[in-house]
Structures are given as C-alpha cells and as structure tokens.
Structure 1
Amino acid sequence: MRPPILRRLLRRVASATACGLLAVLGAHPAPAVAAPTAAAAAGLQQVTGFGSNPGNLQMFAYTPDGVPAGAPLVVALHGCTQSANAYYTNSGWTKYADLWGFDVVFPQTTSANNALSCFGWFDPADSTRGRGEAASVVQMVEYAKQTYGSDGRRVFVTGLSAGGGMTADLLAAYPDVFAGGSVASGLPAQCATSQAAASGCQTGPQKLTPAQWGDKVRGSHPGWTGPWPRVAIWQGTSDYTVYPANATALRDQWTDVWGIGQTPSRTESLPGNTTRSVYDDASGQPAVETFSVSGMGHGLPVSPGSGAEQCGSTAAYFLDTICSAYHTGVFWGLDRTAPGGGTGLPAPAGLKVTGVTSSSASLTWSAVTGAASYTVYRDGAKVATTASTSFTDTGLTAGTAYRYSVTAADPSGTAGAGSSAVTATTTGGAAPATCFTATNYAHVTAGRAHVSGGHAYANGSNQDMGLYNVFVTHTLRESPAGHFVIADSGCQTGSS
C-alpha cells in the first residue's frame, strides 16, 4: 500500500486531470495535507487544518487504496458518548467503502463542546447554515473535495442519535451540499432550538402537521428550490431514548418537502424484523425510505458477518439486527445499482419481472442507446452481464423475495446509472399465513387490536404495537382465529 500522504497527493493529481486544475486549486489555497496519526495505510486518520473550524470539531477520515478521484463521499456522525473511532470500528461503513469505492469522513465532537460529547443538533449556534458545528462539517466536505477529489454531486451524511439529529439539520441547512442522508434513532430537523427543549423532542416531538415540519426544512435555507436530499430513516420500535414518534415526524417532514404524501408507495419485510416503507417522488424514484426495526432499542442497526448484506460489530448502541449501512448505501446508489449510482449512460427503464418459478426469476428491461452490455444485480451483488435486454436468474430458493436492478455499460465498459429496483418472489415454500398490514388506527377499527393508555395492543397476544395513530404501521398474523401477533418480518400478506 502507498503511504496515506502519497495516496492523497496522487489522487489530487488525478482529480486535477479529470476536473481541471482550477477545480483543485480554486480561488483559495487548498488546505494543507496533515500528517496521519495512525501508521496503517487506509486506516482511520486524523486531519488537521481543514478550515477555520468554527464548531471546534475534529476531522477523521478513511480513504481506501484504489479509490479514484470523482468517487462519492460519506460523512458519518457518531452518537452521544461515542467517538469517531467507535463509529469507524462498528458501524459497517468501512466495509462498503472498500467494496464500492468511496471515502468516509468521521467528524468528532468532544466534551469541550458538550459534556456527553453530543453534536449540538438542538443549538442554533451549531445546527444552522454557516454556523458552528454544521459549518465545520461542511468545511470537512470541502477539504475532501479538494484533497481526495470527492464528487461534490454525491456527498451523503448519516448519523446516530444526536448525530442523527445533526444529520437532519445538515440536510435542511445544506441541500446544496448533501445529495442524501440517513437518520438513525434521530430527530427531525430543527425539532429543538435549545438544550431545554431537546428532551421534549426525544420523548415526543411537537404535534405538527407535515407542512409545519416541512417549513422547518424550507426555513433552514430560504429560497432553495431543489433538488432536495433523499432521506432514509432508521428507528427501533422499542427505543425509549429517542421515541419512535420522531421517525414519524421525520417521515412527515421529508415527504412534505418532496411534495409527496405520507402513504408509502410500497412496503417490504427485510431481515432483523425490519419493515421498509418506500415513498416515491413524482418520477417514481425513492425519495424517502423508512426502516422500522421491530423490538430494537436505541442504537444503530448492524449485522456482524461476512455476507454481502452483513456489516459492523456489536457494541454499546450498535445493535445486532440488520446492516443499516448496506441498505442505506443501496438507497443512495453507492453500490452503482440504485438510482443515482454510476456515471455515463442513463438507467435502463422498464425493468419488470416477467415470470417466476420455485427456483428462477425472469426479467426484461428497455434498451439503452449506446449500451454494449447490461449488468444484472441481485440484492446488490452482481449476478450476470449480458448483451440482451432480458435475463433469467436460476438456482434460487423457493418462496423467497429477491431484489433486482440493472445498469447499462458503454463499449469501454463504463457503467451508467442503476435502474429502479424490482422484487421477484419465487413460488413454493411455506403456505401463506393470514396476515393484515395496516396502521394501528385501522387495526383497532377492524377489531384486530385494542387501545390502552394511548397505545395499541394486538388482540389475543396483547403485544404492544406502539402509539395509537395513523402513522405507525404493523403486520399482524392471525392464528388461531381472533389471536393476533406482530409479524412485521417473514409474514406473507393474505388480505388487508
């Protein structure tokens, strides 16, 4: 491996070749490249001199060998009592930085800023455009663009808890900087504007309409007309530090900003008792996605292991459920298969499932002008390259759902943007159960649940389904008649 300083200098030269010297030198001198604090190449390195740093933050970066200029950049914000190193070690983002080819910046706050080392999501002096910690994070992004050659069109930010709250604030204040974000166990943008109000947001944010939540985003950068960042929202249903009502408020906030409704375009079950709800924009592309992890407490979902969709390691506030980094990265297009990933040719349109058996799935899509070949991805992993506009995937497991997307490549082999994903479910397997997917309000109205103390409880099992409202959605399985259990993962819907 090349030493980190040499790798950065070489990549800066590559960036100058690709983008022109002015893009690297700019109107201002580029920040000096700081000496790393760790010996291992491509490990977590501290960077100093990245800017005036009005928020008094520390910058750490992970820059894998072989990542070219023009690659995406992910900014990852730790939670309270955590550090950049904890997020680097446990979150799983470094696995996909190596696999998919992007850089990661890990900002770090300290007890000098906050006694619990929390980012100041609740303090306008730190959470608004051009001020404090938010401005320091943006200076880190500018440093990465100049020094690593990061693609300014593909900068993303993610964070846990207080880092999640700051993520929402950054997306609202800097939609011109961030193409997407992911808020894990976090708060809506500008939920609180003082430390005294912060605890109220955590246990139950203000009861605002979607338009009122959206106004908090629009007011963070007045005059901005878009595009808005694409936002993923991760929340455990048993989180009693940052209550699940915050995920509902976040969903309301960002769907309103996008001008779309609060009814999902589709839902699906994922590993780890996770329900994914997708809210498409006017063009049919995912704009907002929510990931509700049934039974999970306060923390970032990880899934230790070597599988393609496994990542991270368990520790305090890193909870073994599902690899959130993988699903967030696919949503952003970092795997070059989701909308927004790749460069060059446009995404193939019209991808659809034309047939399934117990062991195969057949796909077709529309031709792309100038394409020499197409690559088919199953669950984010490449499975085939073909010159045809159709493909049959074989050797699959009966009664299993698979997610497919396709990219087109030009004669040089350069891959373009990824298509929208489609899901194919093979036949066979266990017989479908009798299941009902609806809001808690609808479940109670239909006689499948009852209300006590403001929460809905499943009839028969008496399982706590969360707040009794029209925002929390669950799948209930009925067996025997009149006895309902929560089955948000692994239950095939029979009727609703």
Structure 2
Amino acid sequence: MPFARYRTASTAPPTPRWRRLLAVLAVVLGTALAGPAPAARASVTLTEVTGFGSNPGALTMYVYRPAGLPAHPPVVVALHGCTQSAQVYADDSGLPKLADRDGFLLVFAQTTTANNPSQCFNWFQTTDNRRDQGEALSIRQMVSQAVTAYGADPQRVYVTGLSAGGAMTAVMLATYPDVFSAGAVVAGLPYDCTKDNSPYTCMNPGVDLGPDAWAQRVRDAYPSYRGPWPRTAIWYGDQDTTVAPRNATELRDQWTALHGLSQTPTRTTAIGPDATQHDEYLAADGTVAVEVDRVPGIGHGTPVDPGTGTAQCGSTGAPYFPDSICSSYWIARFFGLDDTDPGDGGGGGGGGGGGTAACWTASNYAQVQAGRATTAGGLTYAKGSGQNMGLYNTFVTHTLKESPAGYYTVADTGCP
C-alpha cells in the first residue's frame, strides 16, 4: 500500500512535476487498493481518545480495552495500511481477539486524507519519520497517554503495522528504541530507505544496501542511544508486487546488524497451516532478536486465518487481509504476550510455548545474579523479552515469569 503526495510541512514543497505525479498516483493507487466493498458485519468497538498531546502529526488515537484488563497491562500499537482505517484494522487483523484472551491494551493510530490523499502514514517524509516531530511524535504521545490514562506498563510496549503502517513501525522502532521493546513489520520497508531514494524505488524493486549501512541509518535516528535494540519480526507474502519481498531481506539485514548477528538464521522451521518459512536469529542468551516469516502464495497484506482455533484469528472481509496464517497470533507470541501452544509443530517466536509458567519476585540485582536478567548502562533487562526493568540495584523489585524455559517477561501482576 504505497504512499501518496506530501502533506504540507515546514520544509520546501516538492516541485510541481512531483506534485502532479504524486497526485495522479494517489488517485490510481488508492482506487486500486480500495477493492470491493466488504460485506456488512459487526465491528469492534473502539474508543476515540483526544487530548493525548501536541499531536504534531495530526493523527487520531483509538483504544480497544478488553473487559477484565489486568492492572499495568502491556500495550500494542497498531498502524493500518493505505486506504484503510483504525476500524478496518481492528475488525480484520485479529488483534482484538488476542487482546481479549491475553490481556493487553490495543492502541490504533489513524491518519487521514488531509495528511495523505491515500490515508497512508508518511513514513517517507523527514518531517514525520524523525524523533520528536510529526507523526512519529504523535504515536509516541499515544503511548504516553496509554500509560497515564490506562495504567499500561511502559516497559512492555510493542508496535505493529501493515505496509505504510509497517514502514511506520520501522520508523517507531528506529526513532524510539527506548520506548518499544519489540515490533512487527508487515509488508513494510527498512528505516530511512528514502534518505537517498524515491519511495517508489524503495517499495519496488527495493534498495540493496549492506547490513552495516542499513544499521547506521537506525543509529543516526537517535545517536545518543546505547541500547538494547528492539526485537523485530518481519512478515512478507512471497507474491507481493506492491512492496517487493526483497525488502524482507533488507529489513533483516538492518536489524540483525543492529543486534550484532549474522544474516544466516540460527534455525528455520515451518509454522501455520501453509508452512510459512520461519527464520529465527538468536542472540547469545537465546533470545529471538530477529525473525523473518515468509508466507507462501499470498500478495500484499496482513495474513489472517479466520476461525475459532487457538492459532486462528482475523477476517477476510476487507481487502489486504489474505486467508493464510494468523500473523497476529504469531506476532503476539513473538512479543511474549501469549502462553498458549497451537500444537501445530511449528516453531514459536519469542514468548510462546505451553506448560505452567514459573515466577520469581526479587530485586533487579538478584534477578541478574540468578541469570534471569541482564544489565547494560546501569539498567536491567529481562532475559529473553529484553523488557526494561529499571535501575540495576537492590531497591527496585519485579516479578519475572518464565515461559518458555529461558524466556522471561515482567509480570508484576500476572503471576500467582
């Protein structure tokens, strides 16, 4: 789902030729992506939230709050694709079903035709893809509002999105690595590809840079940041002609290099009903730092698998939700939000796996000494999930839950 023309910003506007070209493409591509009207069906109930900050990107914030949401829940930010809306993404992605089951807060950001004629997030504009400005800052402010107004856990914040929303997911991971523990880019692009390339070139055929060059673009987004870097999942349909699958490889190169990992997967398995290729890149402590999921036989979109099974979710009632595998289920596992096992023999991402979770409550110092957490730059991080636990000392105390073995998440209110 490509972008359209530039929103008016403080920088110099594009030339008249570019303006005409982009306007024409906005109409053509927007019409092509819109597709047939979906059949009528019940919609997920979203709550609009106003007054969440200065909102320089002029975005709208919606929240899905499951009944019985636990105290201090994780929060997942979801970013729709072009021609879509927050409501469409809530209705069809399957995320609300998982939020109900696993107890996390959902924040849906929405852009408008006033920002972009095709309702795309402006991942390609420096006025929107840099820290502390434009759309990136608006989304950051939504996270702050979720923490303040809903009591969400600031150490368990995640982001995912499709296409332009996927590219914006990469923007958020690059510009706010101190906010997001992990992210999932669905049919998106490497961060700052448009530094020296047309957005259309970035989309298809894609741009080939070395891993170190890609990684440097992320480091340049927040030069004073010293880590750790967010864990990153990358999802692509192998028949995508809108955002070329080559971008999955470039995204892999960008994020494995940031984590100091080889571009050769540690292990490869098949997951889901269609044998999606699931490549994992493990850090030294066994954490899945990066994963790449290549879905066979589908084009551009967020893959879903409608049904009532544990590993099923989503709806095909709107364009760009192809019937395949429930990507949102596996993304929640990668984030460490799901303790269930689909029983399909596939390899899980991050926090999946069945069995009874073990819990330990101790100071950050004791958690590190016991091998359940690590320390860097005076801060403590849960081993496996990489969640920031605060200062490395004997005064800050957290409960860590282990599920599966060797994978720890902060669960101050989620353990017996």
Aligned to 1:467: none
Aligned to 1:109: 111
TM-score, with length taken from structure 2 = 0.74
Shift of 1:206: 2.2
TM-score, with length taken from structure 1 = 0.62
Aligned to 1:37: none
1:269 equivalenced with 2:219 (yes/no): no
Maintained 8 Å contact 2:44/2:90 = no
Separation in structure 2 between the aligned mates of residue 42 and residue 62 of structure 1, nearest angstrom:
8
In structure 2, which of residues 322, 328, 332 is the aligned counterpart of residue 319 of structure 1?
Answer: 322
Shift of 1:409: 3.8
Maintained 8 Å contact 1:123/1:193 = no
Separation in structure 2 between the aligned mates of residue 42 and residue 163 of structure 1, nearest angstrom:
20
What does residue range 65-464 of structure 1 map to in structure 2 within 5 Å?
65-193=67-195, 197-271=198-272, 272-314=274-316, 315-335=318-338, 337=339, 378-379=341-342, 404-406=353-355, 407-409=357-359, 416-420=401-405
**CA, structure 1 residues 302+420, in 2 after alignment: closer, same or farther (shift >3 Å)?**
farther
Shift of 1:70: 1.2
Separation in structure 1 between the aligned mates of residue 243 and residue 145 of structure 2, nearest angstrom:
32
**CA, structure 1 residues 298+206, in 2 after alignment: closer, same or farther (shift >3 Å)?**
same
Aligned to 1:19: none
> If each structure's strand is expressed as a fraction of its own residues, which one has the higher value?
1
Separation in structure 2 between the aligned mates of residue 218 and residue 401 of structure 1, nearest angstrom:
34
1:145-178: per-residue Cα shift (whole Å, max 9, x none)?
0000000000000000000001001100000010
1:451-495: per-residue Cα shift (whole Å, max 9, x none)?
xxxxxxxxxxxxxxxxxxxxxxxxxxxxxxxxxxxxxxxxxxxxx
Maintained 8 Å contact 1:76/1:104 = yes
Maintained 8 Å contact 2:270/2:346 = no
Q: Secondary structure at the match of 2:285?
A: coil
Q: Secondary structure at the match of 1:251?
A: helix
Maintained 8 Å contact 2:304/2:326 = yes
Separation in structure 2 between the aligned mates of residue 410 and residue 131 of structure 1, nearest angstrom:
40
Separation in structure 2 between the aligned mates of residue 155 and residue 304 of structure 1, nearest angstrom:
26
1:333 partner amino acid: G
More RCO (CA 8 Å, sep 6+):
2
Shift of 1:379: 3.3
Count of matched residue positions in the alignment of Structure 1 and Structure 2: 322
Q: Secondary structure at the match of 1:279?
A: strand
**CA, structure 1 residues 420+214, in 2 after alignment: closer, same or farther (shift >3 Å)?**
farther
2:287 partner amino acid: Q
Shift of 1:75: 0.2
Alignment root-mean-square deviation, CA = 2.2
Larger mean Cα displacement after TM superposition, 47-56 or 269-278:
269-278
Q: Secondary structure at the match of 1:60?
A: strand
Separation in structure 2 between the aligned mates of residue 101 and residue 133 of structure 1, nearest angstrom:
27
Shift of 1:205: 2.6
Maintained 8 Å contact 2:184/2:234 = yes
Q: Secondary structure at the match of 2:184?
A: strand
Separation in structure 1 between the aligned mates of residue 158 and residue 206 of structure 2, nearest angstrom:
25
Maintained 8 Å contact 2:270/2:347 = no
In structure 1, which of residues 51, 63, 66 is the aligned counterpart of residue 65 of structure 2?
Answer: 63
1:148 partner amino acid: Y
Separation in structure 2 between the aligned mates of residue 283 and residue 229 of structure 1, nearest angstrom:
15
Aligned to 1:446: none
Separation in structure 1 between the aligned mates of residue 235 and residue 346 of structure 2, nearest angstrom:
22
Maintained 8 Å contact 1:181/1:229 = yes
Larger mean Cα displacement after TM superposition, 294-303 or 60-69:
60-69
Separation in structure 2 between the aligned mates of residue 417 and residue 190 of structure 1, nearest angstrom:
36
**Structure 1 residue runs without a partner (length 5+):** 1-39, 338-376, 381-396, 423-496
Maintained 8 Å contact 1:42/1:65 = no
1:326-379: per-residue Cα shift (whole Å, max 9, x none)?
1011111011x4xxxxxxxxxxxxxxxxxxxxxxxxxxxxxxxxxxxxxxx533
Q: Secondary structure at the match of 2:236?
A: strand
Separation in structure 2 between the aligned mates of residue 378 and residue 102 of structure 1, nearest angstrom:
18
Maintained 8 Å contact 2:312/2:329 = yes
Maintained 8 Å contact 2:359/2:402 = no
Separation in structure 2 between the aligned mates of residue 41 and residue 82 of structure 1, nearest angstrom:
14
Q: How many percent of aligned residue pairs carry the same amino acid? A: 50
Separation in structure 2 between the aligned mates of residue 239 and residue 75 of structure 1, nearest angstrom:
24
Q: Secondary structure at the match of 1:61?
A: strand
Q: Secondary structure at the match of 1:124?
A: coil
Q: Which has the larger radius of gyration?
A: 1
Aligned to 1:352: none
1:379 partner amino acid: P
Maintained 8 Å contact 1:405/1:421 = no
Q: Secondary structure at the match of 1:301?
A: coil
Q: Secondary structure at the match of 1:268?
A: strand
Maintained 8 Å contact 2:136/2:172 = yes
1:88 partner amino acid: A
Separation in structure 1 between the aligned mates of residue 116 and residue 335 of structure 2, nearest angstrom:
31
